Amino acid sequence: MVFSSLTFIFYFLPIFLFVYFLTPRRWKNSCLLAGSLLFYSFGVKDHPLYAALLLFSVFVNYRLGIRLGRRRKSGCRKGWLAAGIFYNLSWLVLFKYAGFISENINLLLAETGCSFRLSSPAFILPIGISFYTFQAISYLTDVYRKDICFEPSLINFGMYICMFPQLIAGPIVTYASVRKQISARRHSLLHLENGLREFTIGLGLKVLLANQIGGLWNDVKAIGYESISTPLAWLGLTAFSMQIYFDFYGYSLMAKGLGEILGFKLPNNFEHPYMALSMTEFWRKWHITLGNWFRDYLYIPLGGNRKKPARTFFNLFSVWLLTGFWHGASWNFLLWGLLLFVLISVEKLALLRFLHRFPLAGHAYMALAIPLTWMVFALPELSDISVYVQRLFPFLARNTQLTYFNGDFLKYGRLYSGSLTAGLVFITALPRNIYNHYKKDVITAVILLLLFWACIYRIRAGADDPFLYFRF
Closest CA to 42 of 84, 97, 1, 95: 1
Tell me if 83 sits within 8 A of 102, measured CB to CB. no
Residue 123 DSSP code:
P
The gap from C-alpha 57 to its chain's centroid, in whole angstroms, comes to: 21
Closest CA to 65 of 41, 46, 83: 83
- Count Cβ atoms within 10 A of the Cβ of residue 210 and give its class: 0-12 exposed, 13-18 middle, 19 or more buried: buried
Q: Which amino acid is at 295?
A: R
Cα-based distances in Å from 138 to 93, 143, 157: 18, 9, 13
Tell me if 247 sits within 8 A of 214, measured CB to CB. yes
Closest CA to 61 of 125, 142, 157: 157
DSSP string across 34-93 = HHHHHHHHHHTTT-THHHHHHHHHHHHHHHHHHHHHH---HHHHHHHHHHHHHHHHHHHI
The Cα–Cα gap between 245 and 222 comes to 22
Residue 190: count other Cβ atoms within 10 Å of its Cβ: 10
Q: Helix (H, G, I), strand (E, B), or coil: what is residue 441?
A: coil
DSSP string across 276-292 = -SSHHHHHHHSSHHHHH
Phi, psi of 83 (to 5 degrees): -65, -40
Instruction: Answer yes or no: 191 catalytic.
Output: no
Torsion sign across C-alpha atoms 101, 104, 106, 108: negative
The gap from C-alpha 132 to its chain's centroid, in whole angstroms, comes to: 12
Q: Which residue among 47, 187, 327, 437 is the active-site one?
A: 327
Dihedral class, residue 414 (left if φ above 0, else alpha if ψ from -120 to 50, else beta): alpha
The Cα–Cα gap between 74 and 65 comes to 15
Count of positions (residues) in the chain: 472
The Cα–Cα gap between 357 and 122 comes to 50
- Count Cβ atoms within 10 A of the Cβ of residue 379 and give its class: 0-12 exposed, 13-18 middle, 19 or more buried: buried
Tell me if 449 sits within 8 A of 246, measured CB to CB. no
> Which residues are known catalytic residues?
327
